[in-house]
Structure 1
């Protein structure tokens, strides 16, 4: 059984569907959760619902593109709970744009949120991570195979995969670093894609969309002692779509 009692999680993008599932699972297993999101009101409301007494949650607004916000989140986490054991970077932006029609601003925004944000948060957290801790970066199947009309997103997620492997080399043996690459997961982000390409579900060997809870379970595994000899790896959560495509 996974036991996270006494552990402190720093989770970015905590208002997203996958992030909420991660926070809910980690909190249920005993972790204190520092939850950050660009939408400060939403993350405060979520934290209040998760932990009405506020004993094991701290909600903060964080713009992941800003290095100062990352440092503030880390400093606040340490001040509140005395340590950071686990970091999960889940903040992201997924918008349609063909390269031929993409503006420089759209490119830079996607890279800033999806890649720079991981760098800022990990860099700020590294000096404060307790020995035996873990980082899990949420990547995407798009980072492995590309994505039509989402080149900026796919490029950023490919960068996250390489950053994850580099961090695993730099932080071993003290800290483990891994990535999770979700495929088609139930939620608002995937619905327009399914509407355009309904064949994606029958082409998935498991014949359905995944759930946020299923992604959260893999993240929890990677953060737990069950994965204490796993670092520099990426686990796909896509029902077999990656291998079948």
Structure 2
């Protein structure tokens, strides 16, 4: 990020899993990271981090609350160079088990939340900035029992394409990462990772830090400056397209 090293990095879902790893990845690169999480993300910095960190407790489902929180966390003239939309929820659902509350919860966080964060950050996004949205392999292949989650992540893939075109004249790039099985606390709690690893061609699940490095790569204008509107699948060969 040679041209925009002084701007802030916004990371949602920063309290755990891929969001935590992403916040720490950019901190290690000397960036000012604003970590947004519903319950706050106060404990993100790790020993040896070179950047600065500002935790923000905010709900991505509220555009107004987000906008106020982001403005309060930024310096008076500070720009935003990177937005990493990592926050997400994935309660299981089927045609038989879904209800309106589950639908609203999944789509309000996973889809509306992505839009709200980008809209809240847009006034401070500079030319050359990058947005990276976390989708899922479930956007491309059906995962039984994840009816609404898969649909929400397919929507994130399309939002990534649409926003890439909309923001291109401002030289703001929008890309995505679609992880497969990643060893986060949330997926570990399902007790399915060991069985899943046996079916992955590379023979293991991914680590949150691997996703974080891809987010940083896509945000890097030197490495990915001519790439926008794409969603990279990161699945160890489990999902190919």
Q: Is the structural similarity TM-score above 0.5?
A: yes
Q: Given the superposition, is the C-alpha separation of residues 169 and 52 from structure 1 closer, same or farther in structure 2, using an over 3 Å criterion? A: closer
1:147 to 139, 143, 148: 143
Task: Kindly indicate whether the alpha-carbon contact (under 8 Å) linking 2:11 and 2:35 is maintained by their aligned counterparts in 1.
Answer: yes
- Answer whether contact 1:135 1:177 (CA < 8 A) is retained: yes
CA distance in 2, matches of 1:133, 1:164: 14
SS class of match (1:100)? coil
**Can you list the C-alpha shifts for 1:55-114, whole angstroms capped at 9, x where unaligned?**
721111011111112212331243367111110011111112222111110111110011
Three-state SS of the structure 2 residue aligned to 1:46 is coil
Unaligned 5+ segments in structure 1 are none
Measure, in 1, the Cα distance between the counterparts of 2:114 and 2:120. Answer: 10
Corresponding residue for 2:32? 32
Q: Secondary structure at the match of 1:189?
A: helix
SS in 1 for 2:213: helix
The aligned length equals 238
TM-score (norm 2): 0.91
1:132 aligns with: 128
Whether 1:73 aligns to 2:66 is no
Q: Distance in 2 between matches of 1:242 and 1:193?
A: 20
Larger CA deviation: 138-147 vs 185-194: 185-194
Report deviation, 1:205: 1.0
Equivalents in 2 of 1:90, 1:154: separation in Å?
Answer: 16
In the TM superposition, residue 52 of structure 1 has moved relative to its aligned partner by 8.9
CA distance in 2, matches of 1:196, 1:74: 35
The Cα of 1:44 is off from its aligned counterpart by 1.4
Q: Could you tell me whether the CA contact under 8 Å between 1:51 and 1:57 is conserved in 2?
A: no
Q: Is the 8 A contact 2:199 2:238 kept in 1?
A: yes
CA–CA separation in structure 1 for the residues paired with 2:232 and 2:69: 27
CA contact (8 A) 1:6 1:30 kept: no
Structure-to-structure mapping, 1:192-203, within 5 angstroms: 193=190, 195=192, 198=195, 200-203=196-199
CA distance in 2, matches of 1:81, 1:37: 24
The residue number in structure 2 matching 1:156 is 152
Q: CA-atom RMSD, angstroms?
A: 2.2
C-alpha contact (below 8 Å) 1:33/1:56 kept by paired residues: yes
Query: SS where residue 99 of structure 1 aligns?
Result: coil
Alignment of 1:225-236 (within 5 A): 225-236=222-233
What runs of 5+ residues in structure 2 fail to find an aligned partner?
none
